[in-house]
C-alpha cells in the first residue's frame, strides 16, 4: 500500500450506531476504498488520497464523530486527540461486575462533552476481552456500586508499567469531569508530581469520591472466543465478526447496518482486536443474519489461535509474520487457548497481550535477515504490564517451536497457580518497585523514608516496608495498611 494519509475516526467507548457507521463507510468509499479497518482503541481507520480528504471530511462532519487525518500512512504519535475505550462490548457477552450494565456505560460516555487528548479507559475488571490499563487515565470499576478506581500513566513511554493510583474512588457522575480537569492541569503544568496533581485537582473541582481501601479485581476468566452467533445472558444473540486482513468490506457491512436498522439493533460494538460485535439480535431474526452471511460467504469458524492477535494497523510485515506463525502452529495442532499475542514492529508500540513476538531493533542475522525476541507477561497476565524475556535474537523459522514451548509452559503454570518460572533468559528474582514515599488515604499525609517519622520514633532512611505493623499516620492515626505508594515526577 502506498504511504498515503489515514483517516482515524474516534468512536466513543467503541459504540457506533448503524446510521453513523453507514456514513463513515460512505466517507471511506469517497476516499477511494472498498473497506474500513478497526484500530486497537476501538476506532475506525481508512486511507485517503490527499485530493479526496476534503470530501471525505464533509461526510464525516455529518456524523458528529471526531476524526484526525495523519500526514502519512504511519500513525505517528502524539495525536492531537485520542479515543475513549470502554468494555461496553463485554456486557452480556463475558463475565461482568454485577452492577455494571449497558446503561451505566451510556450514562458515563454521554457526559464526555469534549474529545480527550489523553487516552481514557472505562473498564470492567471482571471481563477479559478489553485490557485494563492501556490508557493514560484508566477508570476501573470497583466493588462499590457506581464508584471507580483511577490509575494514571504519565510517563512518555507507552510501555511504562508505572501506574499511579488516585487516592479516592470517583463516582461515575464525575468521571468525565475528573478526566477533563486532570487533562487540563497536566497540559498546563506537566511537571507536577502526582501528590501536587491530586491536591490541585481536589482544590479546584468538587468530585464525589470516597476513600479506597481495596485493589481492583483482575480478570479471572480466560480470553474469550468472540466470533460467531452466540446466546447472550439475556437470551438474545450476539454476533462477532473477524476478518483476517482487518479490511471489512463496505458492501457487506452496509447490508449488515441496514439489517440492524430493520431488526431494531441500535448499536454496534468495536473490540480492541480489530473485530466487532453486534448485540441484541432477537432469536426470531437469526435466520436473517445467517442468510446475509451465507450470501457473502462470511467465515465464522476461525480458530481461537487466529483470533487472539494484536497487530499494528496497516503493517504488512506484522500481518505476514502472524499469518506464517498461525499456519505453522495450526499444522502442529498446538493449543493456545487463553493466550494472546502481539507482533511488535514499532519500538513504542503499547503491549497488552500475554505473549509478544518483537522484532529485534538492533542486530540482524548472518544473511541480514530479521531476528526476533519472545517476551511474556509475568504470570502470563497481560494486565501486569511487566514483560519477561523467554528467548532473544531468534530466527523466524525457529519461532513456532519456541512458541510451542512457551505455550506448554503456560499450561504447566496454569495447573500450578502461575508461579513465575525461570525460562531460558527470563529475568529471575525480580524485585517489586520500592517507593520512597507513601500517602495516607484519609488525610493525605505523606510518609517519606528520607525523613522517617521522629514523633513515632522512626529513624531517617526507614523504608515504609520496614515500618512496624502497628504503625499509624502521625496526623489521623490511620493504620499503615491504608497508605498508598506515591510516585514522584
Give tens-digit pLDDT for 332-348: 877 787 889 999 998 87
Look at residue 326 in the predicted model and tell me its pLDDT. Answer: 92
The CATH label, of 3.40.640.10, 3.30.413.10, 2.102.10.10, 3.40.50.1370, for the domain at 306-416 is 3.30.413.10
Exposure string for 397-413, b = 16+ CB within 10 A, e = fewer: eebbebbbebbebbeeb
The arithmetic mean of pLDDT across residues 206-225, rounded, is: 79
HSE at residue 3, side-chain half, CA atoms within 13 A, is 5
Which one, of 62, 53, 52, lies nearest residue 24 by Cα? 62
- In the chain, residues under CATH classification 3.30.413.10 are 306-416
pLDDT band at residue 70 using 50, 70 and 90 as cut-offs = confident
Query: 44: which DSSP letter?
Result: E
- Quickly state the pLDDT bin for 489 (edges 50, 70, 90): very low
Mean pLDDT in the chain? 86
Q: 126-136: per-residue pLDDT in tens?
A: 999 999 999 99
Q: How many CB atoms lie within 10 A of CB 193?
A: 15
* Element of type H or E holding 249: strand 248-249
CATH (residue range 437-486): 2.20.28.10
Instruction: Specify the pLDDT at position 470.
Output: 76
What's residue 239's pLDDT?
97
pLDDT at 390 > cutoff 60: yes
Least trusted range by pLDDT, from 90-99, 379-388, 474-483: 474-483
Calculate ∠ Cα 392-398-399, nearest 5°.
Answer: 70
CA 162, chain centre distance (Å): 15
- Domain(s) of CATH 2.20.28.10: residues in the chain: 437-486
pLDDT digits (tens, 9 = 90+) for 161-175: 578 899 999 999 999
The neighbour count for residue 119, using CB atoms within 10 Å, is 19
Give me the percent of the chain exceeding a pLDDT of 90.
58
pLDDT in tens, 16-57: 999 999 999 999 999 999 999 999 999 999 999 888 989 999
Q: Kindly report the pTM of this predicted structure.
A: 0.82
With contact defined as beta carbons under 8 Å apart, do 256 and 2 qualify? no
What percentage of the chain has pLDDT greater than the value 70?
Answer: 89
Amino acid at each position: 500500500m502506498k504511504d498515503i494519509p489515514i483517516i482515524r475516526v474516534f468512536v466513543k467507548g467503541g459504540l457506533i450506531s448503524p446510521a453513523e457507521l453507514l456514513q463513515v463507510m460512505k466517507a471511506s468509499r469517497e476516499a477511494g476504498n472498498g473497506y474500513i479497518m478497526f484500530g486497537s482503541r476501538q476506532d475506525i481507520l481508512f486511507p485517503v488520497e490527499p485530493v479526496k480528504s476534503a470530501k471525505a471530511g464533509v461526510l464525516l462532519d455529518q456524523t458528529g464523530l471526531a476524526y484526525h487525518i495523519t500526514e502519512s500512512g504511519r500513525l505517528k504519535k502524539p495525536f492531537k486527540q485520542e479515543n475513549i475505550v470502554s468494555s461496553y462490548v463485554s456486557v452480556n457477552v463475558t463475565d461482568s461486575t454485577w452492577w455494571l450494565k449497558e446503561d451505566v456505560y451510556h450514562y458515563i460516555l454521554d457526559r464526555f462533552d469534549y474529545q480527550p487528548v489523553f487516552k481514557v479507559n472505562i473498564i470492567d475488571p471482571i471481563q477479559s476481552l478489553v485490557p485494563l490499563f492501556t490508557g493514560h487515565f484508566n477508570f476501573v470499576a470497583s466493588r462499590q456500586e457506581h464508584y471507580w478506581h483511577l490509575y494514571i500513566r504519565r510517563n512518555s513511554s507507552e510501555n511504562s508499567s508505572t501506574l499511579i493510583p488516585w487516592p479516592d474512588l470517583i463516582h461515575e457522575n464525575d468521571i468525565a469531569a475528573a478526566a477533563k480537569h486532570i487533562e487540563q492541569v497536566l497540559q498546563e503544568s506537566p511537571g507536577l508530581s502526582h501528590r501536587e496533581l491530586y491536591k490541585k485537582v481536589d482544590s479546584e473541582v468538587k468530585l464525589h469520591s470516597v476513600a479506597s481501601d481495596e485493589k481492583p479485581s483482575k480478570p479471572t476468566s480466560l480470553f474469550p472466543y468472540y466470533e460467531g452467533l452466540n446466546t447472550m445472558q439475556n437470551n438474545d444473540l450476539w454476533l462477532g465478526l473477524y476478518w483476517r486482513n482487518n479490511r471489512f468490506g463496505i458492501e457487506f457491512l452496509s447490508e449488515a447496518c441496514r439489517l440492524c436498522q430493520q431488526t431494531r439493533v441500535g448499536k454496534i460494538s468495536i473490540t480492541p482486536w480489530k473485530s466487532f460485535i453486534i448485540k441484541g439480535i432477537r432469536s426470531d431474526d437469526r435466520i436473517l443474519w445467517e442468510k446475509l452471511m451465507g450470501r457473502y460467504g462470511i467465515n465464522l469458524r476461525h480458530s481461537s489461535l487466529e483470533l487472539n492477535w494484536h497487530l499494528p494497523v496497516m503493517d504488512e510485515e506484522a500481518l505476514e509474520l502472524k499469518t506464517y506463525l498461525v499456519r505453522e502452529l495450526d499444522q502442529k495442532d498446538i493449543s493456545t487457548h487463553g493466550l494472546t499475542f502481539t507482533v511488535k514492529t514499532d519500538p513504542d508500540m503499547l503491549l497488552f497481550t500475554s505473549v509478544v513476538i518483537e522484532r529485534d531493533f538492533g542486530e540482524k542475522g548472518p544473511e541480514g535477515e530479521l531476528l526476533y525476541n519472545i517476551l511474556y507477561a509475568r504470570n502470563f497476565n497481560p494486565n501486569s504490564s511487566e514483560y519477561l524475556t523467554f528467548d532473544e535474537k531468534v530466527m523466524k523459522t525457529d519461532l513456532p517451536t519456541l512458541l510451542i514451548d512457551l505455550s506448554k509452559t503456560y499450561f504447566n503454570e496454569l495447573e500450578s497457580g502461575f508461579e513465575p518460572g525461570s525460562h531460558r533468559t527470563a529475568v529471575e528474582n525480580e524485585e517489586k518497585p520500592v517507593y520512597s514515599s507513601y500517602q495516607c488515604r484519609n488525610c493525605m499525609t505523606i510518609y517519606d523514608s528520607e525523613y522517617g517519622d521522629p514523633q513515632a520514633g522512626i529513624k531517617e532512611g526507614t523504608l515504609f516496608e520496614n515500618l512496624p505493623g502497628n504503625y499509624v499516620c502521625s496526623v489521623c492515626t490511620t493504620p499503615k495498611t491504608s497508605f498508598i505508594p506515591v510516585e514522584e515526577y
